[in-house]
């Protein structure tokens, strides 16, 4: 299976279990790896035969900016399901970064990574 990756998609969301997170929001960063067969697109040099990663990026940002959830696990699942709606995408790996998580000790990042497929 071939891979198309989008890394560092940024959007402001209001996800989290604490009132401050819901009220103020924060930046979330999303990395995607889409699994699909790119051979038909490459053979015909045809965008319609692959995934339009620009559209996927817009849809993922809309999910992050959309309805708040408590957990980034839930957010990752919603993103994965949005990606799998694209016909050619057979598998997706989603990493959601929450670099401004409300943690009281020094840290660089918090991430959740999930892999989902059509199977």
Given the residues 10, 49, 85, 98, the one annotated as active site: 98
Q: Which residue from 51, 85, 71 is spatially nearest to 114, judged by alpha carbons?
A: 71
Q: How many other C-beta atoms can be found within 10 angstroms of the C-beta atom of residue 20?
A: 10
Q: Rounded CA gap, 26 and 49, in Å?
A: 36
Query: Is 85 a known active-site residue?
Result: no
Q: Show Cβ contacts of residue 53 under 8 Å, excluding neighbours closer than 6 positions.
A: 4, 6, 34
Tell me the three state secondary structure of residue 107.
Answer: coil
Active site residues: 98
């Amino acid at each position: 299976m071939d891979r198309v990756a989008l890394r560092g998609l940024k959007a402001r969301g209001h996800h989290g279990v604490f009132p401050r997170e819901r009220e103020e929001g924060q930046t979330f960063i999303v990395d995607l790896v889409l699994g699909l067969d790119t051979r038909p697109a490459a053979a015909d040099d045809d965008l319609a035969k692959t995934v339009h990663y620009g559209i996927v990026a817009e849809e993922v940002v809309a999910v992050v900016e959309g309805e708040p959830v408590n957990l980034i696990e839930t957010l990752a699942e919603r993103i994965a399901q949005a990606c799998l709606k694209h016909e050619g995408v057979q598998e997706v790996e989603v990493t959601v970064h929450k670099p401004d998580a409300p943690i009281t000790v020094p840290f660089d990042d918090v991430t959740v990574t999930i892999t989902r497929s059509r199977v």
